[in-house]
Amino acid sequence: MSSNTAPSRQQDTNIKVPLISKIAYGMGDVGCNFSWMFVGNFLMIFYTDVCGISMAAVSLLMLVSRFWDAINDPLWGRIIDRIPPAPDGRYRRWLKTLALPVALSAVLMFVKIPGLSEGGYLAYAYVTYILFGMLYTGINIPYGSLAQVITSDDRERSSLSVFRSIGSTFGAMPAMLLISFCYVKNANGTSVMSYSKILTGAAIIAALSVAAYLLCYRWTTERVPTKPAPKEKGQTWKVIKILLHSQPYMAVCLVGMLFLAAQMFSQSYNTYLFNYYFNAPSLSMMPTVCQYLPVAVIMLFAGKLGARFGRREVCAYGMLMAGVCNLALYLVGGTNVWMFLAVCLLSGIGNAFIFLLVWAIATDAIDYNEVSYGLHDEATSYAFFTFMRKLGQTIAAILVNMALLRIGYTDNVLNTANITGGTLDMMFTDSVLIPAVLYFLIFVILRFMYPLGREKIAQLQKEKEKLLSKLAEE
């Protein structure tokens, strides 16, 4: 049997995962974030400035696609859970099958067909954006579920979560680097998006994502035994009912949603903040850099701290630190760009723990459902978690649009902004207070609603091992 095939009864599921497998697992989120962050950073501006679609129409498109995700995501989860494992495993095969379709759909979103009306471009946007979302979900759900079957060891899953988060950071970098590449100066000296360059960028990102997915497929191994979900009448509703009534699971879903909303809001809105409030557009990516810099250090011991003090505890108090930093910046105020970046760096220290360990926390909640309710539908569980994170992205987009409209932006935000002196303070306030509120909410949820602290996780690990032993004997 190949080392990458589906798990056998003889395989040890509680082993130390080889470094090459951890790196390969992280490459999966490199592939996911290549396309996801590129779309998040450029698609809205492409729609408004290149295709001429109004901001209101784009916002409605995002909202409609999230309603569709409420059907599409659980549907993918049920399909993946019900299909028997293939020779190369239950989840890995989807990486190979959908890598190219996901990449092609990402490029199609940035194709502008000449001569279409605004309605025509909007219709094309609906088809390609929803298609991308469906295919992306089809590869992201099994990728996320893969951690459940690589190992059952609690500490190793924390390590996998760290490598995944590192992968997502590297996956976000090309989108940040391409920001200057994809813009040109028009006759008035204003920076505008170049259609030919954005399409080239999309094609490069697509090719890189395929390579990352295939590396993840090649060097990961499924060791933990699984079985298809039962094909009983009403089973889907039974699963949904269990998920909605599981306090740890719903708490971690809310945390995932709010944290991504805070991340995406800051990354998007700070671009406008540095352009108009600080008048330093060349530094617009520095807040994101400052947010991610602490990750490079904290990733070395995040797993150990989580094991020593509890993942819930270090993530909760990290969020409290981030919220206090943002609140302090609001109270101090001022227009000093370097003080703003210094606070972003301090806030990034608090952010780093949940950024690195959120996937392990989600895995803990899914394990809790399996042990407590006998729920073996890991892909469906992860699908709902993924949907909640998508809601977080939508919340971020809505908050950005509301904040921009509040300060006088109209349809084509980059071309017709009318910023007056009286609105600049509002812009600064929104940039620091909105993330602060989200960080404080996450702290409250983790500390007071999410029950899986360090001692509970240790007990859960023992019960999970007994369950796997029983499953291997069947």
Give tens-digit pLDDT for 109-157: 999 999 999 899 999 999 999 999 999 999 999 999 998 889 888 888 8
For residue 346 the two structure tokens come to 């301090």
Structural element, H or E, at residue 414: none
Place of tokens 């999309």: 202
245 Cβ contact list (under 8 Å, min separation 6): none
Helix spans in 46-117 (H): 55-82, 92-108
Confidence of residue 228 (pLDDT cuts 50, 70, 90): low
Which residues are bridge partners to 89 per DSSP?
A: 86
| Nearest to 363, CA basis, from 3, 6, 25, 12 | 25
> Half-sphere exposure (CA, 13 Å, Cβ side) for 328?
13
Return d(Cα 145, Cα 260) in angstroms, integer: 19
Residue 132 and residue 391: Cα distance in Å, rounded? Answer: 16
Instruction: Please name which of 365, 302, 311, 352 lies closest in space to residue 147, comparing C-alpha atoms.
Output: 365
Question: What is the pLDDT, as a whole number, of residue 23?
Answer: 96
Mean of the pLDDT values across residues 73-87? 89
Beta strands in 218-356 (DSSP E): none
CA atoms within 13 A on the CB side of 21: 20
22, 28, 134, 170, 427 from 292: Cα distances, Å: 20, 19, 29, 10, 23
Report the C-alpha gap between 303 and 311 in whole angstroms: 8
Residue 226 banded pLDDT, cuts 50, 70, 90? confident
Q: What pTM, to 2 d.p., does this model score?
A: 0.83
Cα dist from 165 to 26, 96, 98, 247, 412, whole Å: 7, 21, 22, 25, 34
Under DSSP, the state recorded for 115 is: T
Q: Is the pLDDT of residue 9 over 50?
A: no
pLDDT band at 229, cuts 50/70/90? low
pLDDT at 287 over 70: yes
Contact 90, 147 (CB under 8 A): no
Nearest in space to 440 (alpha carbons), one of 350, 306, 340: 350
- Find the Cα–Cα–Cα–Cα dihedral 420, 424, 427, 431, rounded to 10°: 160
472: pLDDT confidence band, cut at 50, 70 and 90? low
Residue 285's pLDDT band, with cuts at 50, 70 and 90, is confident
Judged by phi (left if over 0) then psi (alpha if -120 to 50, else beta), residue 453 lies in beta
SS3 for 89?
Answer: strand
Is the Cα torsion angle 59, 63, 64, 66 positive or negative in sign? positive
Name the one residue in this structure whose structure tokens are 């396309």: 35
* pLDDT surpasses 60 at 178: yes
Q: Is 333 left (phi over 0), alpha (psi -120 to 50) or beta?
A: left
- pLDDT at residue 125, as a whole number: 97
Judged against a pLDDT cut of 60, whether residue 412 lies above it is answered with no
Sorting pLDDT into bands at 50, 70 and 90, what band is 381? very high
How many residues are listed for the chain in this entry?
Answer: 474
pLDDT at 346 over 50: yes
* Farthest-apart Cα atoms in the chain, separation: 73
In the predicted model, is pLDDT for residue 411 greater than 80?
no
End-to-end C-alpha distance for the chain, whole angstroms: 21
For 41-59, the DSSP string reads: HHHHHIIIIIS---HHHHH
Rounded-to-integer distance, Cα 19 and Cα 23, Å: 6
Find out whether 431 and 266 touch, Cβ atoms under 8 Å. yes
What pLDDT does 398 receive?
A: 84
Give the least confident one: 6-15, 93-102, 112-121, 340-349: 6-15
What pLDDT score was predicted for residue 414?
Answer: 42
Tell me the pLDDT band of 25, cut-offs 50, 70 and 90.
very high
In whole angstroms, give the CA distance from residue 447 to residue 313.
Answer: 7
Residue 303 has pLDDT above 50, yes or no: yes
**What average pLDDT is seen over the chain?**
87
d(CA 101, CA 82): 22
Q: In 10 A of CB 414, how many CB atoms?
A: 17
417 pLDDT higher than 50? no
Q: Which of 77, 113, 310, 299 is CA-nearest to residue 199? A: 113
User: What are 162's two structure tokens?
Assistant: 């760290």
Query: Residue type for 202, please?
Result: A
Sequence-distant (6+) residues with CB within 8 A of 60 are: none
In 10 A of CB 166, how many CB atoms?
A: 20
Does the pLDDT of residue 8 top 70, yes or no? Answer: no
- Cβ atoms of 413 and 404 within 8 Å: the answer is yes
Does residue 415 surpass a pLDDT of 60?
A: no
How does DSSP classify residue 86? B
| Residue 418 to residue 244: CA distance in whole angstroms | 45
Q: What are phi and psi of 452, to 5 degrees?
A: -90, 75
